[in-house]
Amino acid sequence: MADIPERKKIWIIFGLSFLIRLFFIFTLKNHFYFSDEPQNEIMIVNFLLGKGLIISSNLKAFRPPLYPIFASMFFYNSGLWGVRFAQCFVGALTSVFIYLIGKKIFSTRIGWIAGIISCFYPFLIFYTGFLLTDALAILLTVISIWCLIHLVPLDNQDKSKQNLLLFSILSGISLGLAGLERPTMEAFVPFVLFFILSFRESWIRKIKKIVIISVFFTLTLSPWIIRNYIIFHEFIPGTTMGSRVFWEGNNPYSIGGPSSYFPQQKLKNKTEIQMQHIYLADTIQVIKTNPKRFLWLLWNKFKRFWAVVPNTKLYSSPKYKMVSVFSFGILLPFFIIGFFLTLRNKKVQFLHLIIIFFTLFHMVLLASIIYRAPIEPFIIIIAVVGFLWLKDKIYEIKYHNTGV
């Protein structure tokens, strides 16, 4: 491994990851597998026909805009297969950035192992094959974290050598794009800015980073925000889906996952914005009425988010359970070890931050293992750290006992 040139390592990871994902998509049929896919197709078709980034005249900001724009570039000539093929490239790039993050934070060895694991990791392969936001959301989240870790001040490095301006700009843009792909990332940004305040460096440098990130994050979101204000006369930086998701995860019949129970009578003949307000008000009222159940839901959603096996009936067969157990199930104990081992490591704290944020966010809203997708790359990297530490400890004990 040490003798392999850097560029060759990147090409090996990219090529291997791409070929595995290409093989996977050829096992799929030319139809949709998830209920979200038809809505994404409608948005793509409407965009290509010049009708805008809408599902219908009644749902104009229900889903985020970036994925339909991305997918339309490949859907126009090649349909579903064109998008699947493009997402193989997206998945391969994700593996490369996993390697780069592991190398930047820890070592080439850890980056290499994490990158290779990501090539074969079922959950990262799986999302490649469907007309869903997940594959692109994972890549943009990984790129965002890769940019942010370049802003962490290092004690043994001349701070002037760190390109503050470049990576602050890239962080703002990548976080903005990630937010346009998955609005959860928009809610993550305030925590990023607050976390930067904890850096051990001059206040001038910290304020510069915060201001530059904020400016370019806002500029990236601004076309979507302005468009929504023109249509709805309200400030909507993300989508109108958020309060509906909040209701799904907390209504009186919810167990924390996707729900089919909605207050249909109240929603009848209501506009998109009115429905958003109804969902929000009713969910808050449900929580106030039964706070103990809300606390139970928080715990149940935590278990759903970190479940080892899929928590949807569609993928509850023994085959899918085995795949999950022998991938995420194997990584999980090493991840837990690695997570606690690296808590005081400044360079790892952006990984800790996004893992904790996603967990808490989905404990409040809606939880399923599919929502864990954007943080799976960081779980892999930290799990490698835990595995190598444990392996070295076992070797030390064995060496000590044998006296060799």
Give the range among 83-92, 142-151, 155-164 with minimum mean pLDDT.
155-164
Q: How confident is the model at residue 97 (pLDDT cuts 50, 70, 90)?
A: very high
Q: List pLDDT tens digits, range 243-254.
A: 999 999 999 999
The token duo for 320 is 């899918």
Q: What is the mean pLDDT of residues 156-180?
A: 83
H/E element, 174: helix 164-181
Q: List pLDDT tens digits, range 372-398.
A: 999 999 999 999 999 999 999 998 887
Residue 91, pLDDT > 80, answer yes
Residue 92, pLDDT > 80, answer yes
What is residue 271's three-state secondary structure?
A: coil
Residue 198, pLDDT > 70, answer yes
Residue 230, pLDDT > 90, answer yes
Q: How confident is the model at residue 316 (pLDDT cuts 50, 70, 90)?
A: confident
Give the per-residue pLDDT at 399: 74
Residue 313, pLDDT > 80, answer no
Greater confidence (160 vs 202) lies with: 202
Q: What is the mean pLDDT of residues 250-265?
A: 91
Query: Shortest CA distance to 102 belongs to which of 118, 87, 126?
Result: 118
Give the per-residue pLDDT at 142: 98
Residue 127, pLDDT > 60, answer yes
Q: What is the mean pLDDT of residues 196-207?
A: 92
- In the chain, the percentage of residues whose pLDDT exceeds 90 is 84
Is pTM beyond 0.75? Reply is: yes
Alpha helices (runs of H) in 306-348, residue ranges in sequence order:
318-325, 328-341
Residue 311 to residue 304: CA distance in whole angstroms: 7
Give the per-residue pLDDT at 163: 84
Q: List pLDDT tens digits, range 276-295.
A: 999 999 999 999 999 999 99
Q: Report the b/e string of 350-374 with b at 16+ CB within 10 A.
A: bbbbbbebbbebbbebbbbbbbbbb
Give the per-residue pLDDT at 402: 64
Residue 399 to residue 365: CA distance in whole angstroms: 49
Residue 404, pLDDT > 70, answer no
The overall average pLDDT reported for the chain is 93
Residue 161, pLDDT > 70, answer no
Give the per-residue pLDDT at 19: 98
Q: What is the mean pLDDT of residues 12-20?
A: 98
Q: How confident is the model at residue 320 (pLDDT cuts 50, 70, 90)?
A: confident
Query: Shortest CA distance to 22 belongs to which of 95, 101, 123, 91?
Result: 91
Q: What is the mean pLDDT of residues 343-349?
A: 91
Q: How confident is the model at residue 2 (pLDDT cuts 50, 70, 90)?
A: low
Which phi-psi region, left, alpha or beta, contains residue 182 (left: φ > 0; alpha: ψ -120 to 50)? beta
Q: What is the mean pLDDT of residues 135-161?
A: 84
Q: What is the mean pLDDT of residues 183-203?
A: 95
Residue 330, pLDDT > 80, answer yes
Q: What is the mean pLDDT of residues 319-325?
A: 91
Task: Show the CA angle centred on residue 158, arms to residues 152 and 162, nearest 5°.
Answer: 50
Give the per-residue pLDDT at 61: 95
What is residue 221's three-state secondary structure?
A: helix
Q: How confident is the model at residue 175 (pLDDT cuts 50, 70, 90)?
A: very high
The token duo for 17 is 């990851």
Residue 1, pLDDT > 70, answer no
Give the per-residue pLDDT at 312: 77
